[in-house]
């Protein structure tokens, strides 16, 4: 198969982790006899620096004409005081919209090798396997009107007003709910819909529509939880969650929390799908504090590449190969700094590139031992 990808390394640790994900993709596609074609483009702060636009037209064009997009991260403190549309994040939000990527899948899976990384007791976190389904194109992220008033009606200093609008249509809720229920059918058949229906109209409509959609999925058990309570349950009983369905901002917050629960946000991958071209990115951000040091965890990016193979190309075996390789690198005790809770010196942290190399090696070893490789080259 020919895999035409656009790679958007972005800002901060984005380029470092993306490079490792690309190496793993090369190893995997080589082993399974696929051809990988890549083009690299700018987004976020990197694009602002080069073209004063966080999402240049040329980047959009490249993404729309490829089969999938792999992104590192966007965000840089250099642009903290820019107007909204000239911030790195604006590039990512516009890209999600251009790609019609309304469904953001964020699996939070506990790796048995990482028992001592979770801040929770092992018996609580063991077995955790959550699929967060975050609505990605609605809510307060995109609703209008929005903005900060230039001056207040009175003109007095210190009295400006800021407005954001949380907005959802029934159709937007229905389509993301269907994604969640379809995923639940292939999993443990539980959907927890998270909202704030005791306060927000958006959430009341959300609950109503999700309940209606559930009627088409009689085998799936639907429950509802307010977001504050869901946040508590996520640390108290993470292993009870299967599919967690929620709106844009709640999903942003709860997915970082889920990263903490399973041991490190650096492990979490995501797929943003629903439109013609899928977008894949680690859940962690650009982490400017550690950028350029070569110590970032590349596993979130690598696992995003696995999701890319699964969701954009239906290459399930190849995706599983990457996931198994990540597990076995962790089983062998390889750790980046974020996964080390032991006192310094007791265990040496691997660099981003060393960790990537461990996964590449596991991919090569596991595919070389099967007959696949020889069969394909014969």
Does the protein bind ligand IPM through residue 75 (CB under 6 A)? Answer: yes
Active-site residue flag, 141: yes
How far, in Å, CA of 143 to CA of 24, rounded? 38
Contact predicate 242/131, CB 8 Å = yes
Catalytic residue status for 252: yes
Total residues in contact with ligand IPM, by rule CB under 6 A: 8
Q: Which of 11, 53, 79, 141 is catalytic?
A: 141
The verdict on 252 binding ligand IPM (CB under 6 A) reads yes
Phi-psi region of 287 (alpha: psi -120 to 50; beta: other; left: phi over 0): left
45 binds, among ligand IPM, Mn ion, none (CB under 5 to 8 A by kind): none
Interface positions, 263-292, toward ligand IPM (CB under 6 A): 283, 285
Among residue numbers 247 through 266, which ones bind Mn ion (CB under 5 A)? 252
Nearer to Mn ion, 252 or 318 (CB): 252
Reported as half-sphere exposure (CB side, CA atoms, 13 A), residue 137 has a value of 20
**74 sits near ligand IPM (criterion: CB under 6 A):** yes
Active site residue 256: yes
* Minimum distance from residue 64 beta carbon to Mn ion (Å): 24
Alpha helical stretches, state H, the chain: 14-32, 44-51, 57-64, 88-98, 122-125, 170-185, 201-214, 227-236, 248-262, 299-313, 316-331, 352-369, 372-377
Residue 284 Cβ vs ligand IPM, minimum distance, rounded to whole Å:
8
By CB under 6 A, tell whether 72 contacts ligand IPM. no
Is there a catalytic annotation at residue 216?
no
Is there binding between residue 135 and Mn ion (CB under 5 A)?
A: no
Give the 3-state secondary structure of 143-194. Answer: CCCCEECCCCCCCCCCCCCEECCCCCCHHHHHHHHHHHHHHHHCCCCEEEEE
Give the separation between CA 334 and CA 227, rounded to whole angstroms.
35
Q: Which is nearer to Mn ion, 108 or 184 (CB)?
A: 108
User: Between 173 and 254, whose beta carbon lies closer to ligand IPM?
Assistant: 254
Give the sheet arrangement for strand 35-40, strand by strand. Answer: 35-40, 2-10, 68-73, 278-282, 269-273, 103-109, 129-135, 243-246, 190-195, 221-226
- Would you count residue 14 as binding ligand IPM (CB under 6 A)? no
**Under the criterion CB under 6 A, does residue 11 sit at the interface with ligand IPM?**
no
Q: Which of residues 340-359 bind ligand IPM (CB under 6 A)?
A: none
Closest-by-Cβ residue to Mn ion is: 252
Does 92 engage in binding with ligand IPM (CB under 6 A)?
yes
CA atoms lying within 13 Å on the CB side of residue 201: 6
**How far is it, in rounded angstroms, from Cα 300 to Cα 324?**
14
Q: What is the Cα 204 distance to its own chain's centre?
A: 27
When asked if residue 89 is in the footprint of ligand IPM (CB under 6 A), the reply is yes
Closest residue by Cα to residue 270 from 297, 303, 239 = 303
CB of residue 252 vs Mn ion: minimum separation in angstroms?
Answer: 4
Q: Is 374 known to be catalytic? A: no
Contact between 307 and ligand IPM by CB under 6 A: the answer reads: no
Estimate to the nearest angstrom the gap between the alpha carbon of 163 and the chain centroid.
Answer: 27
Q: Which residues contact residue 346 at a Cβ distance below 8 angstroms, ignoring those fewer than 6 apart? A: none
Q: Which does 247 bind (CB under 5 to 8 A by kind): Mn ion, ligand IPM, none?
A: none
Q: Which residue is nearest to ligand IPM (CB)?
A: 89
Indicate the residue among 286 and 325 with the shorter CB distance to Mn ion: 286
Q: How far is the CB of 367 from ligand IPM (least distance, A)?
A: 31
To ligand IPM, the closest distance from the beta carbon of 177 in angstroms equals: 20
95 and 43 in contact (C-beta within 8 Å)?
yes
- Binding at 135: pick from Mn ion, ligand IPM, none (beta carbon under 5-8 Å per type): none
Instruction: Taking the CA atoms of 192, 197, 200 and 202 in sequence, report the sign of the dihedral they define.
Output: positive
Whether 263 and 110 have beta carbons less than 8 Å apart is answered as yes
Contacts to ligand IPM by CB under 6 A: 74-75, 89, 92-93, 252, 283, 285
Residues labelled as active-site residues? 141, 196, 228, 252, 256
Binding site for Mn ion (CB under 5 A): 252
């Amino acid at each position: 198969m020919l895999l035409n990808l656009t790679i958007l390394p972005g800002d901060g640790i984005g380029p470092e982790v993306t490079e490792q994900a690309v190496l793993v993709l090369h190893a995997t596609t080589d082993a399974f006899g696929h051809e990988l074609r890549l083009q690299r483009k700018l987004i976020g702060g990197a694009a602002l620096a080069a073209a004063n636009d966080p999402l240049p037209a040329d980047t959009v064009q490249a993404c729309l004409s490829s089969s999938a997009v792999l992104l590192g991260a966007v965000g840089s403190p250099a642009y903290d005081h820019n107007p909204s549309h000239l911030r790195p994040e604006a590039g990512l939000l516009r890209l999600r919209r251009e790609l019609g990527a309304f469904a953001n899948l964020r699996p939070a899976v506990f790796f048995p090798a990482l028992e001592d990384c979770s801040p929770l007791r092992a018996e609580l976190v063991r077995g955790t396997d959550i699929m967060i389904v975050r609505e990605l194109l609605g809510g307060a992220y995109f609703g209008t009107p929005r903005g900060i008033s230039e001056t207040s009606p009175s003109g007095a200093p210190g009295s400006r007003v800021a407005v954001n609008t949380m907005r959802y249509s029934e159709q937007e809720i229905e389509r993301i709910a269907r994604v969640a229920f379809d995923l639940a059918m292939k999993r443990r058949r539980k959907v927890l819909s998270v909202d704030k229906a005791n306060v927000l109209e958006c959430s009341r409509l959300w609950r109503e529509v999700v309940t209606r959609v559930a009627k088409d999925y009689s085998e799936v058990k639907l429950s509802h939880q307010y977001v504050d309570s869901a946040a508590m349950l996520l640390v108290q009983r993470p292993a009870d969650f299967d599919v967690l369905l929620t709106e844009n901002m709640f999903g942003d917050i709860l997915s970082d929390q889920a990263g903490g629960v399973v041991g490190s946000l650096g492990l979490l991958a995501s797929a943003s799908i629903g439109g013609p071209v899928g977008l894949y990115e680690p859940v962690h951000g650009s982490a400017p504090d550690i950028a350029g040091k070569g110590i970032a965890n590349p596993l979130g990016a690598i696992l995003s590449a696995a999701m890319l193979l699964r969701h954009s190309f239906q290459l399930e075996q190849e995706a599983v190969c990457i996931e198994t390789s990540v597990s076995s690198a962790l089983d062998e005790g390889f750790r980046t700094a974020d996964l080390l809770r032991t006192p310094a010196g007791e265990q040496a942290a691997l660099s981003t590139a060393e960790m990537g190399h461990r996964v590449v090696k596991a991919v090569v070893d596991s595919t070389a031992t099967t007959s696949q490789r020889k069969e394909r080259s014969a």
